[in-house]
Amino acid sequence: MFKIGDEVVYPMHGAGVIENIEEKIIGGEKLEYYSIKMPGEVKVMVPIAKADQIGVRGIIDQETAGKVFKVLEENSTEMSMNWNKRYRDNMEKIKSGDIYEVADVVRNLSLKQKEKGLSTGEKKMLLNAKQILVSELTLVSKLGQEKVEEMIETRINNSFEEFNKTEEKAESKIKKFIPFEG
């Protein structure tokens, strides 16, 4: 159970702070709700009894945040060529609430955007996943949102440069290959 002032993550919304616990009578039944202040002055009410089931969890620690930044520096993982399947797979990762999965989506879609561009749906998904990632890393690091966004972009840009050069070298070797004619 969380207490007032705890920093938590609510999947699909990001990280926020529990401001208070409120009682509401709904359908004649008295229920307790976490009142969570999210980024952008958004307030979310989550039934305490279903918080775990919904995926509310405490924020990550500093060590885990460092590992998340390392995920952003890696090469992209394999994604489906089928747009619908890729979208569903990425949505599942985001909904999981697993910070590493969200970082994976941010990295993969960011790298894809740099290479080929994204569809409107995937652009929206990238923005949502990035907002979730930034909100949690901002709370953990105690740095401002702009600084965290800059750190994420720097790591993704470094990843793109590093892994794109490797692929360019491989392509240039292939272009220089002279097939055997026999």
Residues 102-154: tens digit of each pLDDT? 999 999 999 999 988 899 999 999 999 999 999 999 999 988 899 999 999 99
Homologous superfamily of 62-174 in CATH? CarD-like, C-terminal domain (1.20.58.1290)
pLDDT for residue 69: 96
pTM: 0.83
Question: How crowded is the C-beta side of 5, counted as CA atoms within 13 Å?
Answer: 0
Tell me how far CA of residue 32 lies from CA of 12, 25, 29, 36, 53, in angstroms: 22, 9, 10, 13, 15
Q: Which residues of the chain fall short of a pLDDT of 50?
A: 170, 172-174, 176-177
What's the one-letter identity of residue 49? A
pLDDT for residue 40: 78
7-58 has CATH 1.10.10.10 classification: no
pLDDT for residue 180: 57
What is the residue extent of each domain of the chain?
7-58, 62-174
pLDDT for residue 23: 95
Tell me how far CA of residue 40 lies from CA of 18, 20, 110, 145, 181, in angstroms: 15, 18, 23, 11, 65
